[in-house]
Structure 1
Amino acid sequence: MKKQQGFTLIELMIVVAIIGILAAIALPAYQDYTVRARVTEGLSLASGFKSTVGENIASNGGVIAAGSCAGVTDLGATGAVASVTCADATGVIVATMDATGNNVPLTLTPTSAAGTPITWLCTTPAANHRYVPGECRNVAP
């Protein structure tokens, strides 16, 4: 009887099948990871606006009114972010991702009452929760 050298065809086919199954699981997880990284870029750009808007609201006695976005320049397309805008009357900051970020919108809404610190609520549509950081997994009103 001859000693067997190498692998049989069935063994090689089993290895190929196992690699295919692992790739089928890993690829979607990696794609979600890359979208989350791009959305985080948008959140960090939008968060840069918060200090200026907060200062404007504090200068106005804690009242959110016209002029909340004074000194804030809206951003155009940068990397995976399509735009970051600030609504002057409400101080709401919206970061919209481009197609590489699954067009996810992030909305940062300030709330303030006289004599209390300004708080920010980050919201996004429920369908996009798997792509956003935990602090933004609030459903937009």
Structure 2
Amino acid sequence: MKKVQQGFTLIELMIVVAIIGILAAVAIPAYQDYTIRAKLTEAMSVASQAKTAVSEYYISQGSMPADQAAAGLDLPGAYSTDVVQDMTYTKTSDTVGVITMDIEAVGGDTLAGENFLLTGTGTSTNVTWACTAGTIDAKYLPSNCR
């Protein structure tokens, strides 16, 4: 008499569960980093208006604005969103200004108040912006900032 296989054995099921567990252990942290970077892209869009204002001021006046008000930006505290805690501008020299983006806790090991910096350096024709990690882990910076 022939024996008909009725289903999977316990060992086969355990192997499948182990494979799924290994794949999940690798995929979940990578996906979490991806979602945090996507959230920080919103912070970059908030910063773009400040970059434009500072750049226009520099091109028209020949030096960086003295403060946020001179650049035509709202005072600190006006830029709060789900991702952005605050945005501040500081002048470090006549040709260099820094925009600091303080973020909310957006997941992972990020904490509220961590930040990244956009440093604008003026030349005779334009302002070049460089993005660097302040207190936030550099792996969370958006792709256009790394």
Both proteins in one fold, TM over 0.5 = yes
Aligned partner letter, 1:46: A
1:89 and 1:125 mapped to 2: Cα distance?
A: 16
Match 2:117 to one of 81, 89, 107: 107
2:135 and 2:125 mapped to 1: Cα distance?
A: 30
1:98 aligned partner:
104
Structure 2 portions without partners, runs of 5+: none
Aligned partner letter, 1:80: V
2:131 and 2:35 mapped to 1: Cα distance?
A: 20
1:46 aligned partner:
47
1:29 aligned partner:
30
1:110 and 1:28 mapped to 2: Cα distance?
A: 33
Q: 4+ residue runs of structure 1 moved beyond 2 angstroms? A: 67-70, 74-77, 87-91, 133-137
Report which stretch shifted further, 115-124 or 4-13: 115-124
Aligned partner letter, 2:32: Q
1:46 and 1:65 mapped to 2: Cα distance?
A: 16
Compute the displacement of 1:76 (Å).
3.6
Cα 1:26–1:83 shift into 2, 3 Å: same
1:81 aligned partner:
84
Deviations, residues 96-137 of structure 1 (Å, cap 9, x unaligned): 211115244221111113x32111121114972211134433
Compute the displacement of 1:66 (Å).
1.6
1:66 aligned partner:
66
Aligned length: 135
1:129 aligned partner:
138
Aligned partner letter, 1:58: I
Structure 1 portions without partners, runs of 5+: none
2:82 and 2:34 mapped to 1: Cα distance?
A: 16
Structure 1 length-normalised TM:
0.81
Does the CA contact (< 8 Å) of 1:56 and 1:67 recur in 2?
no
2:13 aligned partner:
12
Aligned partner letter, 2:64: I
Match 2:129 to one of 98, 101, 120: 120
Does the CA contact (< 8 Å) of 1:38 and 1:81 recur in 2?
no
Structure 2 length-normalised TM:
0.79
